[in-house]
Amino acid sequence: MNYVNLDKTDGLKKLNSLKRTAVKELLTPERVHTSDIPLGGGLRYNWAAMPVSDEAVSALQDLADETELVDKYREILKGEVMNTGEKRLVLHHLTRGNVLGQSVMADGEDKGAFYSSVLDSIKSFSEKVRNGEIKGSTGKAIKTVCQIGIGGSDLGPRALYLALKGWADGCGIKTLNAEFISNVDPDDAAAVIKRLDFETTLFILVSKSGTTQETLTNRDLVLETLKSSPIPGLVPSKHMVAVTSKTSPLAKDSSMLASFFIDDYIGGRYSSTSAVGGTVLSLAFGFDTFRALLDGAHEEDVKATEKDITKNGALMDALIGFYLRNILGYPSTAILPYSQALSRFPAHLQQLDMESNGKHVNRFGEKVSYPTGPVIFGEPGTNGQHSFYQLLHQGTDIVPLQFIGFRNCQYGQDIETAGSTSQKKLNANLSAQIAAFARGKEDENTNKEFDGNRPSSLIYGDKLTPEALGALLAHYENKVMFQGFIWNLNSFDQEGVQLGKVLAKKVLAGCEGDELLKAYADLLI
């Protein structure tokens, strides 16, 4: 594989030499229809309002070929050690299907078969809970599942649960309510616990290592609350399952009703299609719903093997994002879903992108000389229009935008008022925003003048279904992966989160002679 530093590539030199073309100069009705790439799950990616000319697209294709982006993706799929920092395989794609059709062996086992066996266990257990065969300790059916985890054990599963709730209700699918406890702040757990009926609640404790401080603290808080409950016959061990590794302390914990396994080859922020997301989603919506999400993700994973960037939406999105970051110098990107169901999806993408590619050294440990991952933020439209769009339209910084929209709503509850439905009004706003950001508006009153040339892309489809959601998730995972390859980063470790954890333990141990730590601790503890 070619792991040459970005600043030494011919592709970067060529891109820097190109004439930079403004969105206003490029955007035409014809371009809207031709700059469109099919994704999995019935979705499409449209990049018409991005400042990339045909010449720039050709140069981006050359860069993709020179840096062997798709070939590196195929190395991941083959089971090569691509997490160089931790010397691990990267196998989250394998949790939703085998793209290349060849076995991946590690730890003396076929990893595809291992992930399939975990799915079988989740399917069997979730069906027994949902049909009442497995009940709470007092004999009542389970009505609520509560996931205890943090980071990738919370953000992705929570975002996906919220994204599918309206779809499931709209389809008349039996659902179990889901709650999430993540923050070590005791008020987070207390607020959730207050809403729960312990007799009908099943807790899902998620920690790959079985040693995550925040998660174990919240587990203990929950267990103490259960043990002190006056409910006759309540047995806490009948109300908690674990998602963990085979070697963690939780795997042998007799206080767990069941355990579902993950391994070190599934990074936390990439774990939503493993047991981390599969357990809670299968319990909440049924295993078939989770299986459909996996199928949508797998379809998109297959499409990501295409080397022609005009046919590979994740690769095109990654390359355009690189162009915005490294050629045009834009340091941030806004994710703007025009779907209330995706209210927590930008928060998941913050972790996915910023934890993966927020790196200052390359995969060889050398400091890079170019910008890497952008700052990610976002909020659903149209709420965001009444919040931070002022800066996006007329601020001094240009922020690239990624819109997400659907033709139809999930619940099916909509009425026509003032000549249009709410969904049409929502999508009218989305369409208008893309045009307004791109074209701007001239006005004699400079306060009402819009410069335009604000770049944006659009991911769209008919409806947010499990298949579409799986494809959307995989699109962003693969986009981040490809960008990590471009920047020659290891996108699969997260050393940047470790220092604070180490120092927090030092504070709890009395600061151990560190006077600066003690000074701050004295203010708060």
Query: What is the distance between the alpha carbons of residues 302 and 331, in angstroms, rounded to a whole number?
Result: 30
Cβ atoms < 10 Å from Cβ of 175: 19
Q: What is the 3-state secondary structure (H, E, C) of 126-158?
A: HHHHHCCCCCCCCCCCCCEEEEECCHHHCHHHH
Sign of the four-CA dihedral 20, 26, 27, 30: negative
Answer whether residue 153 shows pLDDT above 90. yes
Q: What is the pLDDT of residue 477?
A: 98
- Cβ contact 178:280 at 8 Å: yes
Distance CA 257, CA 273 (A): 22
> CB neighbours (10 Å) of residue 139?
8
Percentage, residues of the chain above pLDDT 90: 95
Query: What confidence score (pLDDT) does residue 261 get?
Result: 97
Which one of the listed residues 179, 214, 300, 355 is annotated catalytic?
A: 355
Q: Which of 33, 501, 505, 512 is catalytic?
A: 501
Q: How much is the average pLDDT of 236-254?
A: 92
23 contacts 79 by C-beta, under 8 angstroms: no
In this predicted structure, the answer to whether residue 2 has a pLDDT above a threshold of 90 is: no
Q: Measure Cα distances from 333 to 43, 265, 277, 312, 345 in Å.
A: 21, 28, 26, 21, 14
Give 406-415 pLDDT, tens digit per residue: 999 999 999 9
CB 358 within 8 A of CB 490: no
Contact assessment for residue 456 and residue 471, using Cβ atoms and an 8 Å cutoff: no
Could you tell me if 309 and 316 are in contact, meaning their C-beta atoms sit under 8 angstroms apart? yes
Q: What's the pLDDT at 426?
A: 98
* 473 pLDDT more than 90: yes
Q: Is the pLDDT of residue 498 over 90?
A: no
Residue 473 is classified by DSSP as H
Tens-digit pLDDT profile for residues 414-451 = 999 999 999 999 999 999 999 999 999 999 999 999 99
Q: State the burial class of residue 340 (Cβ atoms within 10 Å of its Cβ: 0-12, 13-18, 19+).
A: middle
**Which residue's structure tokens are 């043990």?**
227
Q: Worst-scoring range by mean pLDDT, 160-164, 174-178, 521-525? A: 521-525
Judge whether residue 294 has pLDDT over 90: yes
For 358-390, write each residue's pLDDT tens digit: 999 999 999 999 999 999 999 999 999 999 999
Mean pLDDT across 475-483:
98
Instruction: Say what the pLDDT of residue 7 is.
Output: 87
pLDDT on residue 427: 97
How large is the average pLDDT for residues 2-6?
A: 84
Neighbours of 131 (CB within 10 A): 10
The reply to whether 311 belongs to the active site is no
Please determine, for residue 252, whether its predicted confidence score (pLDDT) is greater than 90: no
The mean of the pLDDT values for the chain is 96
Q: Domains in the chain, start-ordered, CATH in brackets?
A: 93-293 (3.40.50.10490), 494-525 (no CATH)
pLDDT band at 1 (very low <50, low <70, confident <90, very high): confident
475 is catalytic: no
DSSP state of 510: T
How would you classify residue 101: left for phi > 0, otherwise alpha for psi between -120 and 50, otherwise beta? Answer: left
Whether pLDDT at 3 is above 90: no
Region 51-67: what's the mean pLDDT? 97
How far apart CA 384 and CA 401 sit, in angstroms, is: 12
Residue 504 tokens, joined: 């927090």
What's the token pair of residue 34? 């031709």
Q: Average pLDDT of 392-402? A: 98
Q: In terms of DSSP H, where are the helices of 228-304? A: 275-285, 287-303
Nearest Cα to 264, choosing from 187, 227, 209, 197? 209
Q: Which of 33, 386, 441, 448 is catalytic?
A: 386
What residues have CB less than 8 Å from 254, skipping those under 6 apart?
237
Residue 495 appears among annotated catalytic residues: no
